């Protein structure tokens, strides 16, 4: 990959990470009385957070540009 592609990939992964974190924050703020629905929201929230962690780890695998 060229350094321009590497940079674009890294930026896209970090943007995805931010979006996943925002989604997790929004899900965490939902007020729900139904325990089953709350459990589902919490599970989706946990998956969002896990996906965000994986995205950050993947972004670390993209080579940094040589200066």
User: What pLDDT score does 66 carry?
Assistant: 65
- Domain tally, the chain: 1
pTM, to two decimals: 0.69
Residue 52 structural domain:
3-56
Mean pLDDT on 35-58: 89
- Let me know if 21 is exposed, middle or buried by CB neighbors in 10 A (0-12, 13-18, 19+): middle
For residue 12, being part of any structural domain is answered with yes
For residue 65, being part of any structural domain is answered with no
For residue 62, being part of any structural domain is answered with no
For residue 21, being part of any structural domain is answered with yes
Top pLDDT among 24 and 3 is at 24
Note the pLDDT tens digit of each residue in 8-46: 888 888 898 889 888 888 887 888 889 999 999 989 988
User: What pLDDT score does 36 carry?
Assistant: 93
The answer to whether residues 66 and 7 touch, using CB atoms and an 8 Å cutoff, is: no
Supply φ then ψ for residue 30, to 5 degrees: -70, 130
């Amino acid at each position: 990959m060229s350094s321009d592609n590497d940079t674009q990939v890294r930026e896209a992964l970090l943007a995805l990470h931010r979006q996943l974190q925002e989604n997790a924050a929004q899900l965490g703020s939902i007020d729900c009385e139904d325990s089953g629905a709350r459990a589902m929201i919490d599970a989706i929230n946990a998956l969002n957070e896990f996906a965000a962690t994986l995205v950050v780890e993947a972004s670390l695998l993209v080579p940094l540009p040589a200066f």
